[in-house]
Structure 1
Amino acid sequence: MTDREHIQTLLTVARRYWLEQASQAEIAKEIGYSRSMVSRLLDEARRRGIITFTVQHPLERAIELEDDLTRTFGLSCARAAMADGDSAADEVSRMAADLVTTYMHSDSVIALSNGRGVASVVRAMAPKRHPEATVVQAIGGTARGNLLLDSPELCRQMAERLGCAYRVMPAPVLVSNPQVAAALKAEKSIGMTIAMASHADILVTGVGAVGVNSVAPIFDHVMPERAHAELLSRGAVGHICGHHIDAQGRHVDADFCQGLMTIPIDRIPSITHVIVSAFGAEKVPALAAILRGHLVTDLVTDIETAKAVLDHRDLG
């Protein structure tokens, strides 16, 4: 038998056994060999690389990405949803809600920002009884668009699920000048809320992308065009709790920041668990930036976004 003929025999035996599920006895009868000879042919096919084995599952890829994110950015935890489309949104929200539940103690203070991502996490929370916990608003309200995505309503919904008290911040996300901001923060109801959110045990937030032709939704109709232009000129790529950051995760301290009603950016790294729930190609530069700036401890996203963020790690 020539080598070509022998390899053809190896291919036939391997295909019949591994792909077509024929027994070694059946193959031996078909090709006129003994059963022991078929066994030796299968062993040879493995040695020569004709037969290769791959054991894999989407979960394995997700776990690899999670481990890579955790190591690269020094995270406490990373989770990557295996689903895509609407299913990914549901899975990301559920996994983020599970993290909140895992980290919660009976008397935890949980701070919430706003937006679709945070709203989805709140909706995914399973009802539990934590009457000694407190939910607190981390950023002023937008009072525009869908109020169900705004911080005051999200705090109420979360508190309802946990059977606990909540504190809201009766102030807009952005006021006209530093003097107005200082006066509002001096009000007990607002100052105490910001202080509590700044010392929360858990902060649940999304991340906003900054684009050339669009203002982040929470600043729609309230951020002057000149402020947006200044942020872009200074390299802003995203924001977290209203604070804009550049590609390296450094705070872009623009003039408009003095009018922000939100927790101070230097307090965010001091919060034990900062859980960011976000996914999508438009979020990648902002996510990579907040990770470089060590502004997040726990990231929940999907597989495609996780891969893109890791690919983006050296581009900042």
Structure 2
Amino acid sequence: MPDVDDPELLREVSVDFYLDGLSKVEIAKERGLSRFQVARMLNSARELGIVRIEISTPAHLDASSGRTLAQALGVREVVISSGTSSNPSRATLARHVARALVDRARPQMTIGVSWSRTIELAAKHIENLPPCEVVQLVGAQPVEGSGNSLEMIQQFKALPGVRTFPIWAPLVVQDAATAAGLRAQPQIARALERAEHLDIAVVAVGGWSTESSTVYSNVSPDDIAEAVAAGAVGECAGHLIDAEGRLVPTALETRIVGVGLDQLRRTPEVIVCAHGASAAPAVRAAVRGGIGSTVVLDPAAAGALTDLLRAESAGTPVD
């Protein structure tokens, strides 16, 4: 039987748990121990100094960085998730988005939720909301490796006391007539009407590029070229925006099934999330255009946005 007091075994078990990510059950099975013995050994390793745990606040998580960025942007709050600028974690960003929504939700509110890869993950971290309405803000946007907004709204529907208003349609359709017809469908029209009464909205903002916008990857080269020529720097809820946050009028705009930017601007609290450095100009644009009171960023987006705002403040030309 293994000697549970052997310092070398304590070190090995600690490496298994803290560095290799094995569970206590897995360690116990591999080493012929009980789960309770493993737990006691991990405690002993800490008491003996074999394991030393240090908790600190990295620069990108420093609350003062968020406050400084919020002041520069002119928003109520900026939350910066964990990770590094070279290895940002969408999953961690999603947890911060979920927490931001849960912290602000109150009974009887009407909450609007757009779709993005980050917001889809955030929905999975929301286990409870007060009794409220959740409105789907845009149609479904299929993306390889992710679900879609229809699956996401079903997760909210499963929460006790939550009433949902889905949009059973794609986000982008082939022509303006189809989009108009879908928006006129009773159930979709009802969801869009409820969006006129939002207390909170959660939306993602992405740069107009293949790595930052799911819409970009689902439209034609002609749509992309027209958007660039018209000055698009980003996308929010399917709508293209320019550097000042104004709607960019293109043929794509007529084919969107979802809320309008004006509805988001009228919403008292809008949580904007963004992932990746390429989203920084779009975040700045959205806030300039009146969309966003709380901004949740990963370190890459926060770093790029900080550099962008510093350059502007110094009078340095930016792209």
TM-score normalized by structure 1? 0.73
Among candidates 146, 169, 173, match of residue 167 of structure 2: 169
- Secondary structure of 1:189's counterpart equals helix
Q: Which structure 1 residue ranges, 5 or more long, are not aligned?
A: 1-55
Partner of 2:138: 139
Residues 78, 300 of structure 1: 8 Å contact kept:
yes
Residues 79 and 267 of structure 1, relative CA distance in 2, 3 Å threshold = same
Give yes or no for the alignment of 1:297 onto 2:293.
yes
Aligned to 2:76: 76
Indicate the residue corresponding to 2:92 in structure 1. Answer: 91
Change in 2 beyond 3 A, CA 1:196/1:202: same
| Structure 2: distance between partners of 1:101 and 1:243 | 26
Aligned twin of 1:179: 177
CA contact (8 A) 1:208 1:238 kept: yes
Change (3 A) 1:306 1:60: closer
Shift of 1:61: 6.2
Q: Does 1:110 align with 2:111?
A: yes
- After superposition, the Cα gap between the structure-2 partners of 1:91 and 1:220, relative to the gap in structure 1 and judged at 3 Å, is closer
Contact 2:212 2:275 in 1 (8 A): no
- Inter-partner Cα distance in structure 2 for 1:173 and 1:124: 24
3-state DSSP class of the match of 1:176? coil
Q: Matches of 1:176 and 1:87 in 2, distance apart?
A: 34
Offset, 1:158: 2.4
Tell me, yes or no, if the aligned pair for 1:128 and 1:163 is still in contact at 8 Å. no
State the partner residue of 2:188. 190
Question: 1:215/1:290 Cα in 2 relative to 1: closer, same or farther (>3 Å)?
Answer: closer
Q: CA deviation at 1:88?
A: 3.9
Tell me the SS of whatever aligns to 1:252.
Answer: coil
In structure 2, what is the Cα distance between the partners aligned to 1:308 and 1:217? 20
Look up the match of 1:27. none
Alignment check: 8 A CA contact 2:206 2:236 kept: yes
User: For residue 227 of structure 1, what is the aligned residue in structure 2?
Assistant: 223
Secondary structure at the residue paired with 1:172?
Answer: coil
Q: Secondary structure of 1:204's match? A: strand
The secondary structure found in structure 2 opposite 1:66 is helix
State whether residues 138 and 263 of structure 1, in contact with CA within 8 Å, keep that contact through their aligned partners in structure 2.
Answer: yes
Q: Distance in 2 between matches of 1:266 and 1:300?
A: 21
* Equivalent position of 2:208 in the other structure: 210
What are structure 2's unaligned runs of at least 5 residues? 1-55, 313-317
* Among 276, 279, 297, the residue aligned to 1:280: 276
- 1:245 maps to 241
CA distance in 2, matches of 1:162, 1:308: 39
Residue 200 of structure 1 is matched in structure 2 by: 198
Counterpart AA for 1:100 = L
CA distance in 2, matches of 1:268, 1:172: 20
Cα deviation, residue 87, structure 1: 7.3
Instruction: Determine the structure 2 residue equivalent to 1:155.
Output: 153
Tell me the TM-score normalized by structure 2: 0.72
Question: Counterpart of 2:287 in structure 1: which amino acid?
Answer: L
Residues 222-278 of structure 1: per-residue CA shift (max 9 Å, x gap): x23222111011121110000111222221111221121110111111112211222
The 3 A distance-change label for structure 1 pair 162 and 232 is farther
Distance in 2 of aligned mates of 1:113 and 1:224: 22
Q: How many residues align?
A: 256
CA distance 1:256–1:129, shift in 2 (3 Å): closer
Bigger radius of gyration, 1 or 2? 1
Residue identity over aligned pairs, in percent, reads: 24
Matches within 5 A, 1:40-51: none
